[in-house]
């Protein structure tokens, strides 16, 4: 069993498995959320997905001050409820198991393929009857290329439709995915993991490819790294799809007021998508859920981002539609038509 280090892939570090999801691919789906992400988007709604290690979270409003956690901690790491000395914590999670109110929570558990399958397979009839399947999300599933490919292969053998949601910052496998010759290794230091994602991507039926800031420096400013590798990977996957040598590529963009919804950004992405003949895009509306989670993890608050208005959404739609991009809300995509076209 792995310890949460993505290099040890007998297990994948997973922070959630959710069923009956309708917004991350066709039909009724289960979502497997891998923990660990090479980006740090300032608006992130799942900051618990960032670190590729198990973590403790503390929901202050649920704590009853019973002090059970202090007494069960074998390392004496808990000074007072919610105040945990990280240098002493050995991540045994005795405290989360003992906390009677759910104030202490665990994010991330190494799970084997067998364990994940046991969780997924009861949902099999829903996948089959709805044209759904399983979506790997995160975090970034390609941080666990071998493990995720192993899991993907096992699901595909059962005829389960597989989607992978990715931030696009992964190493393309030169043997399987760079037939066009556009991928180089010069940017590989940007990713958190030296393995390739090629095998995993060849197993997917659908890649939900997240796009954010078009300009490399803006991407660095808001997401923590520039986007050259992401742009290369998107172009390469689009080519593979059109040559019928790879999965369907469906871009998704979070609409973040004042950040991703500027005319320059939308025009940049719109033009590129049109050029790549990826003329369908899901727009994912921003919400503020990530702020509470930052508090649970004792992270610095993110920047103040305005609430997304209907007017801003309409403006976004106008710009993209004018360029010839058809936009969809999550869960309302025209999957079957596009897949068969
Ligand atoms: S995870 Fe274990 S070592 Fe860490 S604070 Fe909780 S009980 Fe203590
Ligand atoms: S065990 Fe839970 S409820 Fe009790 S003091 Fe600790 S965090 Fe608070």
DSSP states of 212-276: --SSHHHHHHHHSS--HHHHHHHHHHHHHHHTTSS-EEEEEEEE-TTTT-SHHHHHHHHHHHHHT
Asked if 50 and 44 touch (Cβ cutoff 8 Å), the reply is: yes
The string of pLDDT tens digits covering residues 34-76 is 999 999 999 999 999 999 999 999 999 999 999 999 999 999 9
Mutating to test ligand 1, I would choose from 80, 93, 105 the residue with most ligand atoms within 8 A of its C-beta, which is 93
Distance CA 337, CA 98 (A): 50
Six-digit token string for 227: 């986007």
Q: Is 104 in the pocket of ligand 1 (CB under 6 A)?
A: no
User: What whole-number percentage of the chain has pLDDT above 90?
Assistant: 77
Q: How far is the CA of 47 from the centre of ligand 1 (A)?
A: 21
Residue with tokens 């002090």: 67
Q: How far is the CA of 84 from the centre of ligand 1 (A)?
A: 8
Distance CA 232, CA 230 (A): 5
Six-digit token string for 59: 């929901």
Q: What is the pLDDT of residue 7?
A: 47
Kindly provide the residue ranges of all beta strands, DSSP E only, lying in the chain, ordered along the sequence. Answer: 12-21, 29-34, 55-58, 78-80, 83-84, 104-107, 109-111, 133-137, 161-166, 206-210, 248-255, 280-285, 326-328
The string of pLDDT tens digits covering residues 168-215 is 998 765 444 433 322 233 333 344 344 567 888 889 999 999 999 999
In this structure, which residue's CA is closest to atom 4 in ligand 1?
Answer: 89
Question: At a CB cut-off of 8 Å and minimum separation 6, what does 334 contact?
Answer: 280, 328
**What structural domains and CATH numbers belong to the chain?**
12-52+112-340 (3.20.20.70), 55-107 (3.30.70.20)
**Within 10 Å of residue 234's Cβ, how many Cβ atoms?**
24
pTM for the structure as a whole: 0.88
Looking at all shown ligands, the one closest to residue 91's CA atom is: 1
Distance CA 212, CA 223 (A): 8
**Within 10 Å of residue 105's Cβ, how many Cβ atoms?**
17
pLDDT interval class at 287 (50, 70, 90): confident
The string of pLDDT tens digits covering residues 68-110 is 999 999 999 999 999 999 899 999 999 999 999 999 999 999 9
Mutating to test ligand 2, I would choose from 63, 79, 84 the residue with most ligand atoms within 8 A of its C-beta, which is 63
Q: What is the pLDDT of residue 35?
A: 95
Q: Taking residues 216-226, what's their average pLDDT?
A: 95
Asked if 324 and 269 touch (Cβ cutoff 8 Å), the reply is: no
In this structure, which residue's CA is closest to atom 6 in ligand 2?
Answer: 69
Q: What is the pLDDT of residue 339?
A: 54
Q: Taking residues 162-168, what's their average pLDDT?
A: 96
Q: Is 99 in the pocket of ligand 2 (CB under 6 A)?
A: yes
């Amino acid at each position: 069993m792995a310890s949460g280090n993505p290099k040890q892939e007998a297990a994948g570090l997973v922070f959630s498995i959710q069923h009956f999801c309708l917004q991350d691919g066709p039909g009724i789906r289960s979502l497997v959320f891998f923990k660990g992400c090479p980006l740090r988007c300032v608006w992130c709604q799942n900051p618990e997905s960032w670190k590729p290690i198990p973590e403790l979270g503390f929901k202050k409003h649920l704590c009853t001050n019973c002090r059970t956690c202090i007494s069960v901690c074998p390392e004496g790491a808990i000074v007072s409820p919610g105040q945990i000395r990280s240098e002493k914590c050995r991540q045994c999670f005795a405290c989360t198991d003992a906390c009677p109110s759910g104030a202490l929570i665990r994010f991330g558990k190494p799970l084997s393929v067998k364990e994940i399958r046991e969780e997924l397979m009861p949902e099999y009839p829903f996948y089959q009857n709805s044209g759904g399947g399983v979506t790997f999300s995160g975090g970034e599933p390609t941080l666990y290329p071998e493990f995720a490919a192993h899991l993907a292969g096992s699901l595909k053998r059962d005829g389960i439709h597989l989607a992978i949601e990715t931030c696009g910052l992964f190493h393309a496998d030169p043997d399987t995915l760079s037939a066009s010759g556009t991928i180089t290794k010069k940017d590989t230091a940007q990713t958190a993991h030296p393995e390739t994602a090629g095998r995993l991507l060849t197993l997917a039926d659908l890649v939900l490819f997240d796009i954010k800031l078009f300009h490399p420096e803006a991407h660095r400013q808001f997401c923590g790294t520039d986007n050259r590798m992401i742009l290369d990977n998107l172009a390469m996957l689009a080519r593979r799809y059109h040559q019928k040598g790879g999965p369907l590529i469906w871009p998704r963009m979070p609409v973040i007021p004042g950040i991703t919804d500027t005319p320059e950004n939308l025009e940049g992405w719109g033009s590129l998508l049109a050029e790549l003949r990826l003329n369908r895009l899901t727009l994912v509306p921003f919400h503020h859920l990530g702020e509470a989670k930052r508090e649970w993890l004792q992270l610095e608050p993110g920047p103040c981002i305005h609430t997304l208005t209907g007017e801003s959404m309409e403006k976004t739609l106008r710009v993209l539609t004018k360029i010839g991009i058809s936009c969809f809300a999550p869960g309302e995509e025209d999957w079957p038509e596009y897949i068969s076209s």
